[in-house]
Structure 1
Amino acid sequence: MKITLLGTGDAPGTPVIGCTCPTCTDAHNGGRSKRTRSSILIETEKGKVLVDTGPDLRFQLLGSGVQYIDGVIWTHTHYDHFAGFAEFHRVQYNVDVYGIKETLDYILEYLHYMHPQRHEVRMYTPFLLIGLEFTLFEVVHPPAKRPAGVIIKEGQKKVVITGDTQRNISSRSLEVMIGPDILIADAIVPPNVGVKKHMNSKEALDLAREIRAKKVVFTHLSHYFAPHDVASNELPLGFDGMEIDI
């Protein structure tokens, strides 16, 4: 299994329009602080699956050389996690899309002019794609209705993607998250910046310790961190195009 973090930014992306902070300046200059919106590519010899399809998906797929996908899993209904699916219009038809009923209802009404193949799944119920076992689990990200994280298994290997979430994840979800080889965690800001709907970096590290993750990578990152090459000396920040072989 190969994982590529196509987009590691929060909803505005980095650089933020009109901002000249050091991190946005680094992004303007082509540094790793440049972050597009959320999308993760999962690959095996049997195919390619996207977890979320952020608004920058066209550029992400062109940049990574991906020409065809075998499925999309949507974690929740926020624009920065699904709007890029429109880039498949007149490119690839009848795409298989997966998510819980509430998520699919909302997104496919928005994308009413497209006709993907809808697959409703239930929280905590595994399903198979490209030779991998996927499971959605419930997280906390108001006001999104029933947002999900994603567990991916291949044999004894296990990956947990938190999706967008606060730290107060339910005990049922924490139980199924235990012991991943890698945790890809929402960590939108440093702890000195107030945030309500997401984990900060301290909370994400605390979650990694609680579920005994062997490795953690932060995503959904804002420009409130120092420039990437500085902040990554102390924190496990992901970056756009980061590849992880499991």
Structure 2
Amino acid sequence: MEDRLTFLGTGDAMGVPRVYCDCLVCTEARETGMNRRLRSSVLVEGDGEEFIIDCGPDWRFMMERLGKRKVRDMLITHAHFDHIGGLPEWSDACRWLGEKGRLYAPAEVLEQIVRQYPWLPRQMEMTAVDDGAALCGWAITCWKVNHGKNGFSYAYRFRKGNYHWAYNSDSINLSPGEKEPLQGLDLLVLGTSFVHETAPFETRSVYDMREAAELLSEVKPRQTIYTHMSHDVDVREALPLPEGVRIAKAGMTVPLHK
């Protein structure tokens, strides 16, 4: 099996459509589904193995779409509900299958998860990745990133041979030190919740596409895919994307090799 990345969900914390909203994007998402977005998550496959990054409340529906009955390995970016809300269902699946899951995250994220779901360790092995990890043959490193008013998240950098990619779904206003691991990438998966967010900066938590373009001009990845998008983003429109950038769509598969 070649190394590849599949987008399972590409939405922000509330997904699209919003329950309360009748905007053009939410209306289209209900009617034809081009803008319908589950909470952000990806499947990584390679070396005959696989793992999922983040397990939000749409995890069960994602698994049904994939036709999968189990997953063994899960890597978590941070302990917000849109990234861990599916863990109780995964835990229940592990219990009924009689197979312990393997959950990977930085130590402080694992601690937050156990505080919220104290029964999870009965059904899964928890491994801290602060000093690195390896899944599907990828050497993985993580670092804390600014998540604005929502505190912090973690980003992950993956290396196999001469291919380097990173997953950074929830961040804003990165410091020079937080940007450094984004240098020299073949692929960057970056969260951009809005095309241009007008809310006061101190209330925000994720890059918009205008700010993301500035970040990309600094770190210069070979290609970039935007994810974690709100109902502000209409995939039917011509979006202001820099060269080498595209929008993630559910089911989209990307090869992870040169």
TM-score, normalized by the shorter chain, greater than 0.5: yes
How do residues 122-133 of structure 1 correspond to structure 2 at under 5 angstroms?
A: 122=130, 125-133=131-139
Q: CA deviation at 1:170?
A: 2.9
* 1:187 counterpart (180, 189, 192): 192
How do residues 20-169 of structure 1 correspond to structure 2 at under 5 angstroms?
A: 20-92=22-94, 93-114=99-120, 115=122, 116-122=124-130, 125-142=131-148, 144=150, 146-167=152-173, 169=174
1:72–1:97 Cα contact (<8 Å) kept: yes
The one-character-per-residue Cα deviations of 1:5-27 (angstroms, maximum 9, x if unpaired) are 11111111100002111111111
Q: How has the CA–CA distance of structure 1 residues 22 and 73 changed in structure 2, closer, same or farther, with 3 Å as cutoff?
A: same
Amino acid at match of 1:229: R
Aligned residue for 1:172, secondary structure, equals: helix
Structure 1 stretches of 4+ with a deviation exceeding 6 A read: none
Which consecutive unaligned segments of at least 5 residues does structure 1 have?
none
2:17–2:27 Cα contact (<8 Å) kept: yes
The one-character-per-residue Cα deviations of 1:123-151 (angstroms, maximum 9, x if unpaired) are xx332112111111121014555420111
The one-character-per-residue Cα deviations of 1:99-158 (angstroms, maximum 9, x if unpaired) are 111110111222222221010121xx3321121111111210145554201111121111
* 1:224 counterpart (200, 221, 232): 232
Q: State TM-score, norm by structure 2.
A: 0.87
* Structure 2 match to 1:215: 223
Aligned residue for 2:92, secondary structure, equals: coil
* Structure 2 match to 1:171: 176
Aligned residue for 2:70, secondary structure, equals: coil
Aligned residue for 1:230, secondary structure, equals: coil
Q: CA deviation at 1:229?
A: 2.0
Between Structure 1 and Structure 2, how many residues are aligned?
242
Aligned partners of 1:85, 1:197: CA distance in 2, in Å?
23
Q: How has the CA–CA distance of structure 1 residues 171 and 60 changed in structure 2, closer, same or farther, with 3 Å as cutoff?
A: same
Q: CA deviation at 1:171?
A: 2.4
Amino acid at match of 1:209: S
Aligned partners of 1:29, 1:245: CA distance in 2, in Å?
31
The one-character-per-residue Cα deviations of 1:25-54 (angstroms, maximum 9, x if unpaired) are 111023320000121111113311111111
2:70–2:93 Cα contact (<8 Å) kept: no
Is the aligned partner of 1:241 residue 2:251?
Answer: yes
**RMSD of aligned residue pairs (Cα, Å):** 1.8
Amino acid at match of 1:43: E
Amino acid at match of 1:127: A
Aligned residue for 2:194, secondary structure, equals: coil
Q: State TM-score, norm by structure 1.
A: 0.91
Aligned partners of 1:154, 1:193: CA distance in 2, in Å?
39
1:158–1:182 Cα contact (<8 Å) kept: yes
Q: CA deviation at 1:175?
A: 1.9
Range 234-243 or range 193-202, more displaced? 234-243
Task: Report % sequence identity.
Answer: 26
Amino acid at match of 1:34: R
Q: CA deviation at 1:232?
A: 4.8
Which consecutive unaligned segments of at least 5 residues does structure 2 have?
none
Aligned partners of 1:66, 1:136: CA distance in 2, in Å?
28
1:76–1:144 Cα contact (<8 Å) kept: no
